[in-house]
């Protein structure tokens, strides 16, 4: 963890410092080696929050985009007493969780239910083929509008554990090579939206700065809510259009049937008289 309590004040790790965990109030040790960023650790690798994963430079780099008071915020459940440490919790109630390692789908669901208004930011560089799969899906997808794409076969483009999430998933593919080339598409963020259009997944493409600024100024939650409403209405419009087409096809089929059976019905009518 980045922050511990020293004399009831949040402090970063430093050589010789002693502190306590803000979550469980147990003593923590300052780890100040050369291979990893300075951080605090529980004795005997104890974890007071089992959702926490070892923090990498990727985590720290993302956290540095936000005010320190928004980082590692303890959020309790008032009814059960359960509490967890959110990577980022903004003043607008948005939780941002940065995920590098593999995670069981059950844990993902538990965290989404606990935090509710949240967005995942996933380290897409962990598996080398994920970027190629996503880019292929985007290039083969249909542009709904600028920066928004419909992906026809999402299970071929995204890691399966993230499909079906009820919150937005941001995939970050930036690495040391792409940072040097401003035209490299890995410098963008790719957001898997939590609603489909028919069978197709919705993918939006963001600049890094736009995403960060919108989460900081409070516009992200508003954008998600508005976009969800638009996509729900878009789905309804498609369903209505399909129903109109189905009825038109039935009417055409009925007219064709009546034309084919007209001579038979005329003959039968004459025979009766």
The answer to whether residues 134 and 113 belong to one domain is yes
Residue 115 half-sphere exposure, CB side, CA atoms within 13 Å? 29
The answer to whether residues 83 and 166 belong to one domain is yes
Query: pLDDT averaged over the chain?
Result: 87
Residue 232 — pLDDT band, cuts 50, 70, 90?
confident
Give the global pTM: 0.83
Q: What is the DSSP string of 91-136?
A: TTS-EEEEE-S---HHHHHHHHHHH-SEEEEEETTSSTTHHHHHHH
The answer to whether residues 164 and 200 belong to one domain is yes
Q: Which of 64-78, 148-162, 163-177, 246-260 has the lowest mean pLDDT?
A: 246-260
Domain assignment of residue 43, given as a range? 1-48
Considering the domain boundaries, does residue 185 fall inside one? yes
The answer to whether residues 181 and 99 belong to one domain is yes
The answer to whether residues 40 and 138 belong to one domain is no
Q: Is the pLDDT of residue 206 over 90?
A: yes
The answer to whether residues 60 and 2 belong to one domain is no
Q: Which of 219, 215, 220 is nearest to 70 (CA)?
A: 215
10 Å Cβ neighbour count for 222? Answer: 12
The answer to whether residues 174 and 84 belong to one domain is yes
Considering the domain boundaries, does residue 252 fall inside one? no
What is the predicted pLDDT for the residue at 262? 64
Distance CA(154)–CA(133), nearest Å, equals 10
What is the predicted pLDDT for the residue at 92? 95
What is the predicted pLDDT for the residue at 130? 93
């Amino acid at each position: 963890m980045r922050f511990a309590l020293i004399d009831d004040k949040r402090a970063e790790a430093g050589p010789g410092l002693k502190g306590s965990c803000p979550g469980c109030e147990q003593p923590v040790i300052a780890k100040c080696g050369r291979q990893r960023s300075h951080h605090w650790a529980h004795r005997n690798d104890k974890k007071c929050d089992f959702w926490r994963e070892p923090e990498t430079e990727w985590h720290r780099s993302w956290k540095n985009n936000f005010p320190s008071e928004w980082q590692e915020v303890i959020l309790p459940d008032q009814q059960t007493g359960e509490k967890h440490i959110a990577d980022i919790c903004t003043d607008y109630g948005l939780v941002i969780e940065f995920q590098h390692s593999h995670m069981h789908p059950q844990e993902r669901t538990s965290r989404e239910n606990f935090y509710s208004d949240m967005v995942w930011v996933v380290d897409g560089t962990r598996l080398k083929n994920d970027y190629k799969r996503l880019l292929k899906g985007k290039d083969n997808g249909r542009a709904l509008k600028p920066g928004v794409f419909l992906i026809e076969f999402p299970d071929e483009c995204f890691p399966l554990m993230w499909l079906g999430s009820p919150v937005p998933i941001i995939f970050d593919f930036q690495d040391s090579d792409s940072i040097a080339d401003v035209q490299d598409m890995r410098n963008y963020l790719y957001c898997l939206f939590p609603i489909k259009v028919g069978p197709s997944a919705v993918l939006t493409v963001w600049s890094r700065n736009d995403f960060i600024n919108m989460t900081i100024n409070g516009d992200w939650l508003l954008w998600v809510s508005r976009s969800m409403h638009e996509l729900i209405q878009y789905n309804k419009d498609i369903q209505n259009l399909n129903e109109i087409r189905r009825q038109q096809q039935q009417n055409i089929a009925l007219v064709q049937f009546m034309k084919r059976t007209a001579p038979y019905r005329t003959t039968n009518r004459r025979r009766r008289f």
